[in-house]
Chains A and B, each alone.
Chain A
Amino acid sequence: MTDIVADAGSDTLLQRCAGGDRAAFRMLYDRHAPRLYAVALRITRQAGPASDAVQEAFIQVWRNAHQFDTVRGNAEAWMTGLVRYRALDLLRRAGPPMQSLDDAPEAPALAPLDTSPDGRALRQCLERLEPDRRKLVVLAFVEGFSHTELATRLATPLGTVKSSIRRALASLRECLGA
């Protein structure tokens, strides 16, 4: 897949949105909504809040497209952030879902990262982490688990979770650079 080309396309579509081009907005939606909806659904675990998160994010995309910096920014990362933060807000507001504590989550396999160059680089850096730390990072980002929720679900002391994540972030930053 030509991810770099596709992403340059999204930047261009965003610029057209800033000029009021609804057709470009629709193309942007068609291209990104299935991925963003899956991201929101994974975090909120419910269709209603997931739809809300994606809806609000796209409204912000349309309104704030003119603020998007095509030189510095990355359209996919920007839109992903809009959806994830909104989904996390909704999740945190609703409180943790009722699930039994023996439901110890497994981190998903990293193979899907290989579909893009950035993903492959991230996978390599993740695989350099200790398995426990890698699992914390992946579960936090994909499932939206907070420090506290990770500690509870993985039956690990909160202090250990926090320090493992802190070290994992430092390693990733060093491995991936800016």
Chain B
Amino acid sequence: MSDDLPTDRAGLYVLGVLDAAEMQEVRRDAVRDSALSAAIEAWERRLTPLTALAGETTPPSELWDAVTASLDGALPGAAAPQPRRQPGGRDARRGPGARAVAAWRATALGAMAVAAGLAGFLVWRIQATVQPAAPRLTPRFAMILPLQQTPGGWLVEVQPDGRIRAVAQGNVSHAADRDFELWALADHATRPVPLGLLPIGAGSADLHPGNLPTRNFKLLVSLEPKGGSPTGLPTGPVMFGGDVIRPPG
């Protein structure tokens, strides 16, 4: 193209025509380049009126509950008996939060049923080839699968000494400024414990959490800011989950 115009990266970014890699590049550069980030803001101001062309659609009623549940760090189980009583009306938010959690649980349980089926198949295959040295030292496994319409997942092996090996499956990915964080939610517990950050792409990672529940637990994965949740509880949406199972014998 005999085009002497300079490339307006901010304009292209705000317009939304860049592919995933190009978008990430612009974001990365904008952190250091204040002229670029100012140009992005200017384009946002210019083009935002175009949102009127999409009209208005009432969001699902659970959406507000999901937003506030995330802000409270509430997760499945947060609606369990004995809500923490605090002056100042914190409890007032538990009602809708509980509904969101119930809806979440329904989705999660469906996906986990699938996960358990797959993991069972997987364990059967491992059992067929590997003879565990001693029954008490059998590792446990989990397939962590999407709870939402997201590709990918992880195969997780939990060693008897608490070490965790996670292998990314199906090219799981997230934005450059995010991380997937793994959590264990013990049966009947109301709060998950953080286990570490998960690999993406075709990567694998060894985690040494040292705080695995002694009871049976589920594994959950939330989308967090880079480096993981700053609060010690999930702050982003819970996007993946799976049951941990122990092979028979």
Contacts and interface: CB of A to CB of B under 8 A. Distances in A.
**Overall SS of chain A's interface:** helix
Given A73-B41, A89-B23, A47 B71 contact: no
A55 B8 contact: no
Interface residues of A, number: 74
Nearest to A73: B41
B20 A163 contact: no
Contacts of A74: 44-45, 48
A62 B52 contact: no
A86 to B, nearest CB: 8
Interface string A2-14: 0000000000000
B44 A78 contact: yes
Nearest to B175: A89
A128 to B, nearest CB: 14
A165 B12 contact: yes
A77 B48 CA distance: 6
Interface in B52-92: 52-60, 63-64, 66-68, 70-71
Interface in B115-136: none
A168 to B, nearest CB: 9
B51 interface: yes
Interface in A26-61: 26, 29, 33-39, 41-43, 46-49, 51-52, 54-56, 58-59
A88 B52 contact: no
Contacts of A89: 20, 23, 175
A37 B47 contact: no
B35 interface: no
A27 B248 CA distance: 54
Nearest to A122: B49
A139 to B, nearest CB: 10
Contact of B14 (A29, A81, A162, A163): A81
A63 B71 CA distance: 9
Contacts of A48: 148-149
Given A55-B66, A173-B8, A39 B19 contact: no
B1 A159 contact: yes
Nearest to B1: A163
A112 B53 contact: yes
Identify the 5 closest CB pairs spanning chains A and B, nearest first: A119-B49, A37-B59, A169-B11, A34-B56, A92-B20
5 contacts: A80-B48, A93-B151, A116-B49, A166-B5, A173-B8
Interface of A: 22, 26, 29, 33-39, 41-43, 46-49, 51-52, 54-56, 58-59, 62-63, 72-74, 76-78, 80-81, 84-85, 88-89, 92-94, 108-110, 112-113, 115-116, 118-119, 122, 137-138, 140-142, 144-148, 150, 159, 162-163, 165-167, 169-170, 172-173, 176, 178
